[in-house]
Amino acid sequence: MQNSAVRPRCRRGAFVAAIAGLLVSACSVVALSYQFAPEFVYWRLDQALDFDAAQGADVCARLDRLQAWHRRSELAEYARFLREVQARLARPASVAGVGWVHDEVRRRYLRILDAVEADAVEVVLGLRAEQLDSLERYFARMSADFERRLVDAGPERAREELFRHTLRRLERWYGAFDDGARGRLRRLAEEIPLDRRLELEDLRRRQRELLAFLRAVSAGKPAAREEIGSRLKRSFGRWEEGRTAAYGEYAERNRAALHSFYAEAANLATPAQRARALRELQAYVDEIAALAPTGAAAR
């Protein structure tokens, strides 16, 4: 990175902050995540694209505007969504209910992609060929890390990692499960279809397709802004487009099994664990509502 010493710092919030805040370990971190997420977003983008100083300033300004939209338009809705999750968590869980949560999270993510589309197109139109070389190297590092951790380690290690990951997520909300519940969850996890090599192949396909499109745009191949925006949203949100039939069938089975796993886990939780999860959710509701503009959370 040749210009890191003169690159600007994004100092205010960004569009991913509320979602990131839902994943952190303490509710007091939500506000900090919302304030400093653009530093992380800018850092990740800069790692991939190696912005010069002018590009960096432009990206930071766009993130500022996006954060203002997100705070004004989305935060109160996030709080309402979490209240609905609370209400559902108080009842026995179902596979359909887990699917509803998944679909609602995805819907909100796609709203962010819609909001960022015009700005993303302008950034793409300003990229130089050497920056796309940087992006190609970044993608190569990403896929190599995936291969090393989840493919080369072998199927047994990959499945154990899946179980540990899902258990950590569950116990973050519910607290520790007893040995009997953990045994049941392990058996359920073993039933989840898992093919990390097929996932890696699809990741690399998406990387190749995006790079080829961006290189064509950079080389002067005519492309309407609407086409560029649609292509970006396909790469970062409509992952099902362009999949092989084999991967599409696998992805559907994997998702259905994961939904079943999380529904079963919710029903294995004791009343005390459910009460804990409800308290955790309420803490996030309160923090997110406090971040929303005055009066927005009540609407």
Q: Tens of pLDDT along 159-188?
A: 999 999 999 999 999 999 999 999 999 999
**pTM of the predicted protein model:** 0.83
Domain total for the chain?
1
The answer to whether residue 268 is domain-embedded is: yes
Residue 148 DSSP code? I
DSSP letters for 93-131: --HHHHHHHHHHHHHHHHHHHHHHHHHHHHHHHT--HHH
Q: How far apart are CA 203 and CA 239, in angstroms?
A: 10
Task: Tell me: pLDDT of 138 over 90.
Answer: yes
- What DSSP state is assigned to residue 5? G
Give tens-digit pLDDT for 86-119.
999 989 999 999 999 999 999 999 999 999 999 9
Residue 2 in domain: no
pLDDT bracket for residue 43 (50, 70, 90): confident
Q: Is 63 contained in some domain?
A: yes
Residue 297 domain-assigned? no
Separation of CA 260 from chain center:
21
Q: How far apart are CA 230 and CA 110, in angstroms?
A: 12
Q: Show the domain range for 148.
A: 7-291
Domain for residue 126, yes or no? Answer: yes
Does a structural domain hold residue 298?
no
pLDDT band at 21 (very low <50, low <70, confident <90, very high): very low
Residue 230 resides in a domain: yes
Counting every residue, how long is the chain?
299
HSE on the CB side for 24, CA within 13 Å? 19
